[in-house]
Amino acid sequence: MELKNKLTARLLMSTALCAIAATAAPAAVAQDEDGDDSNDRRLEQVVVTSTKRTTALQDAPISVGVVPGEVIAEYNITDLTDLQGFVPSLVVQKTFGNWAVRVRGLGSGVTNIAFDSSVSIFNDGIYCGRSRCLETGFFDVQNVEIARGPQGALFGKSTIAGAITVASARPTNTFESYVTAGAELENGGFRTTGAVSGPIAKNLSGRFALQYQDLEGDMENRFTGQKDNSVESLAMRGSLLWDIGPDTEFWAKVESGWTDVLGRRNQLAGPGALASPTAPIDPATLETIVNDVRYVSTGTSSEDFDYSDQFGVTASFDTGLGDHTLSLIGGYWALQYNNLLDVDGVPEALLNSSLYEDYEQTSFEGRILSPTGGTFEYIAGAMYHNSLTKTGQFSQFYPGFYETVGVPPAFTASIPGAVGVVRDFKRDSETLSAYGQLTWNITDRLSLIGDLRYTEETQDARGLAYQVTFPDGETPVRTPNAPFQAGSPDYIFYQVREDESLDPSLRVLYELTPDINVYAAYSTGSKPGGLKANDGGLGRVLLGRDSTFLQRYVGTPTLTTADIAGGVTLRQGNGVFDFEGEDAENIEIGTKMVLADGRVNFNATAFRMEFDNLQTSSYDGTQFIIGNAASAEVSGLELEGRWMATDNLTLNGSAALLDATYKKYQNAQCPIGPDGNREDPSCIDGQGDLSGRRLERAPEVELNLGGAWEGQVSQNLFLTANVDMYYSGDFYVRQDFDPDGRQDAFTKWNARFGLGPQDGGWEVALVGRNLTDERTIQHAYEVLSPFQAVGAGRSVFLETTFRW
């Protein structure tokens, strides 16, 4: 199977390279039906803002993947996870808490729910460090940009692996509106999206957009009789654009939304201690077969759910100051979510877990931009960001859980419903940064661009854990010395952490011809250290430290359980409650080409990155292992091409080759061999060595190939047809390389066919996502037995759009 996957990968890569190389062939200029050269049409220019100025993608000395708003609307892309198939080097996977967002194989761990994402998210220019910040933001979008690699100087604020920028559609000065309504044919349900935009008064225009969906689940739960992972959501956005004068503009938006998911997709992935005594031993329902069938229940009055809501306000002001431009932007964002997960994967109440988060932030940024076209151009700016994060987690260990590991029923009978530990976390963060960019246009063809950003961040945090029982099986009640919880003593930790960083970048851009640019870049990124949010065992860890450590980081040579239960203040760098910042350096060379009289775009980037103190997290079934891997190395190649083969047909292709390894990583989980056993039987988790091993969630090969055709099929009807293929090589989701956490290589196909009048007044379309129904692993973990959470299966929408 592995050989077959490698051969398939090489075949697909060869096909992609041939397709992309073909776009660079000057002889590939198409002819129209009369045989004349059709050189009058060109590919539409793509504009990006990832360089802090509005720049044509082909002129930007940076590796940026762009997904236009039309693609997002046509393929029903509704959240970050749907972007993965359109942008190689981007991996987005949903987990129980934080989502795993990675660019070029790098991103934050997922088990520490207080991790800020190492791939920062910018919603209309406002930074948000939580991966869920765009859960309701993917509708009525102008475009999405994915800047790859460290972007500390350009973006700042933890953009150590990359940055995702989403721009919503702006109000228009002419009236326009649309509504799209579609029925989901595979599993049931519907989605509707609409917007109205136009002038309100002189120099004032507005836009209002709304999306509502009610989709039935794609997982059949044969125990509860319901379809799990059903989704209901509502998102709304209103915006105003005031054209105050020739050089002055004010824009503001308010948006809000909520998402309610019932049932999950996690399942038992193999045999172990957790097995149901009541589930039918039938291949169609047996829990250990990972497919679209579950036989699962929490065993309580509430089944699995995930509910979140968001609210945000953003405003920007741009005005001319002589020949300069002053830009101001500010925003407020709030996010809440809570969920319940059946961890054990069986119908009985053995182990459940709940997460909740309350997050809010305020951001302000101002910058001055010089005019362009001179020998020197510059940008100077500053950013202030404040956020308050409150998270919590508790897990209910029911008597049946302990019986599965051999505790006699006589002992478990004394447990009042369930036992566990509540972990609460609160952090107030304040960030201030100043940055500048200087461009020296040495000649008409050669430019040197330097960026520098200085950042200070202060985190004031409190973490606590306390033992609880659940007399009713669901509601935690604080209970000191709860049964079976002696290894998790109550604690309250306080700590203030201060970090500062200086992130430079340098880029050289040379114009070989008016249509071919080459560039070389050196860029850096940094992310401050942080605090551990949801580890109930930290009290035990601190009590186990020697007197020298305690004197240095606590200010006393001895501690008792009563001391930590009453609250202790820790000093920075202790490694028990906090972990260190990480740094990255990136070197890349690339080219941007416009060929064949504008009918071909071809971009290529080769890069090498080195990471120090890489922040990682994992869970071995009994403890959280959160800290810093010593170092990692990532190198690769990214190719992207578009070819207007004819006036009706456009082809696109992209590919990414990635080699991502831990250069040095000790004190990690113990590696698991292909047979499911530890490679070193004497290894104890927390003492494993992953040095030289491949990074998790980092496929070596990714490909995307697609085509779009449009044309008149009758006197009054116009047809559009889109087909896209995404291929990913194999990768591990679990950091310990357990075979139950290995995702085999896979291919996903998407297609869309639309029919309507040429004037575009209406359209009927059939949209298919993941047509081969590939169920890929989103998350994997082990609690006495191995588990996997799989992604969405096939969806097919029949939808109608009306435009006025």
What DSSP letter does each residue of 192-254 carry, written as one string? EEEEEEEEEETTEEEEEEEEEEEE--SEEETTT-SEESEEEEEEEEEEEEEEEETTEEEEEEE
Q: Which amino acid is at 97?
A: G
Highest mean pLDDT among 41-50, 397-406, 441-450: 441-450
Query: What confidence score (pLDDT) does residue 626 get?
Result: 73
Pick the residue with more confidence: 470 or 89?
470
The dihedral sign for the CA sequence 750, 755, 756, 758 = positive
Domains along the chain with CATH numbers: 2-803 (2.40.170.20)
Q: How does 658-695 read in b/e, with b if 16+ C-beta sit within 10 Å?
A: bebbbbebeebbbbbeeeeebeeeeeebeebbbeebbb
Phi and psi angles of residue 646, each rounded to the nearest 5 degrees, phi first: -140, 175
Instruction: Tell me which residue has tokens 């500048």.
Output: 436
Read off the pLDDT band of 590 (50, 70, 90): very high
pLDDT tens for 668-692 read: 888 999 988 899 999 987 788 999 9
Averaged pLDDT, 538-547? 94
Averaged pLDDT, 5-22? 39
Query: What confidence score (pLDDT) does residue 422 get?
Result: 94
pLDDT of 37 > 60? The answer is no
Pick the residue with more confidence: 639 or 676?
639
The dihedral sign for the CA sequence 241, 244, 245, 250 = negative
3 state SS of 666: strand
Cβ atoms of 450 and 519 within 8 Å: the answer is no
Please state the length of the chain. Answer: 804
3 state SS of 94: coil
Q: Which amino acid is at 350?
A: L
Least confident of 305-314, 403-412, 433-442, 501-510: 403-412
pLDDT tens for 436-488 read: 999 999 999 999 999 999 999 999 999 999 999 999 888 999 999 999 888 89
DSSP 291: S
pLDDT of 3 > 60? The answer is no
Instruction: Tell me which residue has tokens 């002055």.
Output: 248
Mean pLDDT of the chain: 87
How many angstroms separate the first and last alpha carbons of the chain? 53
Predicted model pTM: 0.88
Query: What confidence score (pLDDT) does residue 482 get?
Result: 92
Least confident of 9-23, 288-302, 484-498: 9-23
124: left (phi over 0), alpha (psi -120 to 50) or beta: left
pLDDT tens for 709-725 read: 999 988 889 999 999 99
Read off the pLDDT band of 753 (50, 70, 90): very high
Averaged pLDDT, 314-332? 96
Nearest to 465 by CA among 426, 511, 503: 426
Least confident of 619-623, 635-639, 708-712, 737-741: 619-623
pLDDT tens for 157-210 read: 778 888 888 999 999 999 999 999 999 999 999 999 999 999 999 999 999 999
pLDDT of 502 > 50? The answer is yes
Alpha carbon distance 654, 12 (integer Å): 11
Alpha carbon distance 103, 609 (integer Å): 12
CA 422 to chain centroid: 27
